[in-house]
Amino acid sequence: MLTGIIQITLILLIITITTPILGGYIARVFLHQSTLLDPIGLPLERLIYTLSGIRSQYNMSAWQYIRAVIFSNLVMGIFVFFVFILQGLLPLNPTNLTGVNWDLALHTAISFVTNTNQQHYSGETTYSYFSQMFALGFLMFTSAGTGIAVAIAFIRGLTGRALGNFYVDLTQSITRILLPISLVGAMALVIAGVPETLAPPAVATTLEGATQYIARGPVAHFEIIKELGENGGGFFGINSAHPYENPNNFTNLLETVIMLVIPTAMIYTFGVIANNRKQAWLLYTMIMVMFVGLIAIAAIAEYQGNPLVNSILGTSAPNWEGKEVRFGSFLTAFWAVATTGTMCGAVNGMHDSLMPLAGGVTLFNLFLQIIWGGQGTGTVYIYIFLILTVFLTGLMVGRTPEFLGRKIEKREIVLASVILLVHPMMILIPAAITMAAPDLLSGISNPGFHGYSQVVFEYASAAANNGSGFEGLKDNTLWWNISTSLGLIVGRYVPIIALILLADSISHKQTIPETIGTLRTDTGMFTTITAGVILILGALTFLPVLVLGPIAEAFQLAG
């Protein structure tokens, strides 16, 4: 317990220190100011622009930016789909794996191109080294880079700048942020015991004389971008609970920090670009308070354990089901909150085995998408809630809704509403259809309220582009692969389109001089109201779902 509390405190301290450092660096990159990596980055980027024909000085319109995002993602998704189908004919396949079924290949390609990495397969027994490195690993960089690029375009628009060039933003996201951190992080993981090899599975003879095959592979470089890019898809089926992905407390600490650094830093990046660091720190504090509160709920629930088991033992004991002994209940609970809060989706224990309140916290994170949110998009969703709060409070106090000196009008509110309404639609509608025919469609492995949570979690994970799950669900079926693929696409691209259009709309508005009647958004009072709006909207939308799932299960166990 004490070790867990110390490591949690240390991680929170580290990300608070790194937030202004990395956030300021990201701002300098996209403001085209000098950075330490210029001697390497500038020649590399010029080479990429020359070979690809990118006009780096060309600013795109809103629809040009949107088309660039969708077209590039479509091309990458098709390429990866055919890699999976033709896997048996490609090199670096030491276990002679064949191509996968079209529906699983389609789901995996869509899942990784949307930065979700929802896995309806077990990595070491389904995809070859080639597929994991040159298809999945490739998309881990480009999908994360896409998220950062869209967030930067949104920030530019809100601050009255041109949206920029998607291809330039994508390139710089990879060359200046994702790749440098990944190189250093991968070396640290190798030193800490994570394998990085192209050798086939090791063969061992057990004490009983049986032959055992021990899967391994190029794991370290895959693991670091998995966490850094909010990807979450594991090289092995049990993800970061596997000792080759996450062997000890040092790697657990490093991977958790890496998971959090970019989402937390992007809040500060907005503050730098908008020239309002005060508001950035207020929003950072708001999210941190929510984050710590959710960690406390999950950690206490896991530490108190299962009352049914405790009644048999005659004493209180932590819930050890689905956890690795090397991490324990506190660090598993913390990781679960962090991975669903950041939209990473990696796991170091099984979410299906969490106590109802802890499982409810993970669902709550997927519903809100802002604690800390996805790769770049988490920051965007925070500001969508901020815009809605400006509009609502402006109506209540009789002031013109303004944000960063620009009026918030009908078009902006409609687009913001689309962004927030698409998410529950892609969770609640398919979950209702699935639960209407549970024997035919659901694949539930747990009865009652927990089974309901399994289904809702899978669709929430897809729509939020998270990727984690209440595993045990039999999800590698035609229904689950196709229905969640729809959630992945709509949950990713409809908000992106609306975000770019909203930012473009605001960027063309005239700046209004600040007066005594201006509603300031960089105050503690307004930030508190924003937190209330976030919680109220989340409660109104998803409270019935939580009541039918984890809350009902908690009462059932307590009774």
372 cis-preceded (ω within 30 degrees of 0): yes
Per-residue pLDDT band at 446 (split at 50, 70, 90): confident
Q: Where are the beta strands (DSSP E) in 117-269?
A: 202-205, 211-214
For residue 10, what pLDDT is reported? 95
CA nearest 146: which of 556, 496, 555? 496
Determine which of 64-73, 347-356, 537-546 has the lowest per-residue pLDDT on average.
Answer: 537-546
Tell me the backbone φ, ψ of residue 325, rounded to 5 degrees.
-60, -30
Q: Report residue 335's pLDDT band, with 50, 70 and 90 as the boundaries.
A: very high
Residue with the bigger pLDDT between 512 and 220: it is 220
Q: How far is CA 139 from the centre of its chain?
A: 14
Out of 6-20, 132-146, 429-443, least confident range:
429-443
pLDDT digits 0-9 by tens, 74-113: 999 999 999 999 999 999 999 999 999 999 999 999 999 9
Beta strands in 97-231 (DSSP E): 202-205, 211-214
| Tally of structural domains, the chain | 1
The reported pLDDT for the residue numbered 33 is 93
State residue 146's pLDDT score.
Answer: 96
**Alpha carbons 164 and 173: distance in angstroms, whole number:** 13
High-pLDDT (> 90) share of the chain, %: 76
Residue 559 confidence class, pLDDT cut points 50, 70, 90? confident
Confidence grade of residue 334 (pLDDT, cut at 50, 70, 90) = very high
pLDDT > 90? residue 558 = no
403 pairs with which residues across the strands? 406
Q: How is residue 317 annotated by DSSP?
A: -
Encoded amino acid at 320, one letter: W
Q: What is the mean predicted confidence (pLDDT) over 325-341?
A: 93
Binning pLDDT at 50, 70 and 90, where does residue 551 land? very high
- The yes-or-no verdict on residue 346 having pLDDT over 70 is yes
Q: In the numeric block, which tokens belong to residue 315?
A: 């004493």
Q: Smallest Cα–Cα separation from 45: which of 192, 145, 121, 194?
A: 145
pLDDT of residue 344: 92
Give the closest residue to 72 by CA, choosing from 166, 155, 5: 166
Q: Is 451 helix (H, G, I), strand (E, B) or coil?
A: helix
DSSP code, position 464: T
- Return the higher-pLDDT residue of 454 and 446: 454
What residues have CB less than 8 Å from 481, skipping those under 6 apart? 103, 104, 106, 107, 120, 475
Nearest C-alpha neighbor of 390 from the set 289, 519, 290? 519
Q: How far is CA 242 from CA 19, 124, 322, 325, in A?
A: 29, 11, 12, 12
- Structural tokens at position 423: 């998410």
Q: Which pLDDT does position 402 carry in this prediction?
A: 82
Q: Above 90 in pLDDT, residue 328?
A: no
Please determine, for residue 201, whether its predicted confidence score (pLDDT) is greater than 90: yes
Query: pLDDT at position 20, please?
Result: 97
Amino acid at 559: G
Please report the DSSP string for 210-234 in residue order: -EEEE---B-HHHHHHHHHTT----
Give the chain's mean pLDDT: 92
User: Which domain does 279 fall in, by range?
Assistant: 2-558
- The two tokens of residue 56 are 């780096």
Q: Which residues are within 8 A (CB) of 290 and not within 5 positions of it... i.e. 6 or more apart?
A: 371, 531
Asked whether 14 and 264 are in contact (CB, 8 A), the reply is: no
Q: What is the pLDDT of residues 520-550, one digit of tens each?
A: 888 899 999 999 999 888 778 899 999 999 9
Q: How far apart are CA 295 and CA 287, in angstroms?
A: 12
- DSSP state, 407? E
Using 50, 70 and 90 to split pLDDT, how confident is the model at 414? very high
Question: Radius of gyration of the chain from Cα atoms?
Answer: 23
Task: Say yes or no to pLDDT of 517 above 80.
Answer: no
- Two tokens, residue 556: 């059932």
Tell me which residue has tokens 């089926």. 237
Answer whether residue 397 shows pLDDT above 80.
no
The Cα-based distances of 423 to 8, 43, 65, 78, 391 in angstroms read 30, 41, 22, 25, 21
Report the phi/psi class of residue 230: left, alpha or beta, with left for phi > 0 and alpha for psi in -120 to 50.
left
Region of 305 on the Ramachandran plot (φ > 0 left; ψ -120 to 50 alpha; else beta): left
The full DSSP string for 50-85 is HHHT--TTPPP-HHHHHHHHHHHHHHHHHHHHHHHH
pLDDT for the residue numbered 521: 83
**Lowest-confidence segment of 4-8, 54-58, 141-145, 176-180 by average pLDDT:** 54-58
Report pLDDT digits (tens) over 231-290: 999 999 999 999 999 999 999 999 999 999 999 999 999 999 999 999 999 999 999 999
* Cis bond before residue 335 (omega within 30° of 0): no
